[in-house]
Amino acid sequence: MPKIALLFDRSYIETQHCYMEPAIQFANNGFQVDFYMVNNPYNTQPFFQNNNIRILPFPESAFQKMEYWSKIIYSSHHKYSAIIGTPVAGAWISYRTARLQKIPFYYFADELLSHMLSIYPEAQRRTLEKRNYIANKKAVATIALGEERYQVQKEQNRIDYPHEHIVLPNAPSGNAVRIRSNYFRDIFNIDDRKPLILFAGTLNWTLAKKIYEETKTYGERDYHLVFQTRTTGLMGENDHPFIKISTNPVPSAMLNYAFSSADIGLALYDKNSVHETNNGFTGGKIGSYLKNELPLLIGSAENLKAFAEQGVGTYWDGETDFDKVAADAIRDRDAHRRNIPEFFKHSLQYEVHFAKLLEHVKKSIK
């Protein structure tokens, strides 16, 4: 049985399909998977039903690095057929591992370089940029979350050489299906049947803050607005009279059940922020909403208009009164929901797109 290593130097693994699904799909297709990730007390460890997936600590400390390299060199249980890594640390370690074991290495462009390196001093940033350039150039291919996003990545990573890329969406596998669920209504003891608009994600997004401030004066409305987040205390949310905020982490195994209890999915990426715009179309929450047949309420990044044009959501320019755009989304939700299954399968359903990577890896191994 071939073995593949996924070196993801990220801690928020279980909340993003772009990390969970590669492990699931490789295991389902006959691979043993060593899944390296960063552990911290703020994120729950992912749960995988397939016993061919083994979760290991990403080598961060000096001891972990020493243990990792000794096993890579000497242990037969750490001999891989291929390896995939996220920038910068994951890609660099994967590249060096691939050289030692003479196996194909894939650069997984989950985050854009400019955003990741902005926090480092100039000297350290130059070192990391050099490592990133080498690793990306030596990869047999780049895995990107979207075609538009890859073009940005191509410029930032200075890909001025022939290089193959494979687009895999940040979305779940399986057909779009809405489960019968009252998850959020039970949590907040909501007895009425007013539509429930769900925003899942950090409250650091600009438009999330804007809605929070805008709705502070709201009384009862014809809909409920729920924020599912893990970030607390950013806006004094305990005092908000209208928005219901859940800070209890939802395990990955329960995400579909929780999301299906909502009626509309809210995705907020500010058109005035380059970083938010680049993230927008590939946001994991969008894939989760559509997987559970939740019509979208999206804004204000221009590239998000594509979802409205495909008839699966309502676009918000970020300026129009939120009450009005919410009413429009509620009015059109049934029509938008009918369009979701076909759109999701064609554009986002993970295993449909994964087939190209699987074929590429099998050929590279041979």
Confidence of residue 7 (pLDDT cuts 50, 70, 90): very high
CA 299-300-302 angle, 5° bins: 110
Confidence check: pLDDT of 206 > 90: no
Percent of the chain with pLDDT over 90: 72
**What does the pLDDT look like over 16-46, one tens digit per residue?**
899 999 999 999 999 999 999 998 877 778 8
Confidence check: pLDDT of 211 > 90: no
Residue, of 111 and 206, whose pLDDT is higher: 111
**What does the pLDDT look like over 278-291, one tens digit per residue?**
777 888 899 999 99
Q: What is the pLDDT of residue 250?
A: 82
Q: What is the pLDDT of residue 348?
A: 96
Confidence of residue 254 (pLDDT cuts 50, 70, 90): confident
Q: What is the pLDDT of residue 310?
A: 96
Sign of the alpha-carbon dihedral angle for 183, 188, 192, 196: negative
* Spatial contact of 197 and 223, defined as CB atoms under 8 Å apart: yes
Could you tell me which residues come within 8 angstroms of residue 20 by beta carbon, excluding any fewer than 6 positions away? 13, 14, 46, 48, 252
Span of 173-177, 209-213, 361-365 with lowest mean pLDDT: 209-213
Q: What is the pLDDT of residue 215?
A: 84
Rounded distance between C-alpha atoms, residue 211 and residue 323, angstroms:
10
Could you tell me which residues come within 8 angstroms of residue 125 by beta carbon, excluding any fewer than 6 positions away? 117
Confidence check: pLDDT of 64 > 90: yes
Average pLDDT value for residue range 204-225: 85
Q: What is the pLDDT of residue 197?
A: 96
SS3 content of the chain, % helix, strand, coil (to 5): 45, 15, 35
- Domains recognised in the chain with CATH numbers: 3-173+349-365 (3.40.50.2000), 183-347 (3.40.50.2000)
**Amino acid identity at 315:** Y
Confidence check: pLDDT of 245 > 90: no
Rounded distance between C-alpha atoms, residue 167 and residue 158, angstroms:
19
Rounded distance between C-alpha atoms, residue 106 and residue 141, angstroms:
5
This prediction's pTM: 0.91
Confidence check: pLDDT of 239 > 70: no
Confidence check: pLDDT of 217 > 90: no
Residue, of 40 and 226, whose pLDDT is higher: 226
Q: What is the pLDDT of residue 339?
A: 98
Q: What is the pLDDT of residue 12?
A: 83
Rounded distance between C-alpha atoms, residue 39 and residue 308, angstroms:
38
Q: What is the pLDDT of residue 273?
A: 83
DSSP annotation of 155: H
Confidence check: pLDDT of 3 > 70: yes
Average pLDDT value for residue range 123-132: 95
Q: What is the pLDDT of residue 317?
A: 93
**Amino acid identity at 332:** D
Residue, of 175 and 233, whose pLDDT is higher: 175
Give all strands of the β-sheet with 224-228 in edge-to-edge order: 244-246, 224-228, 196-200, 264-269, 296-300, 313-316
**What does the pLDDT look like over 304-339, one tens digit per residue?**
999 999 999 999 999 999 999 999 999 999 999 999
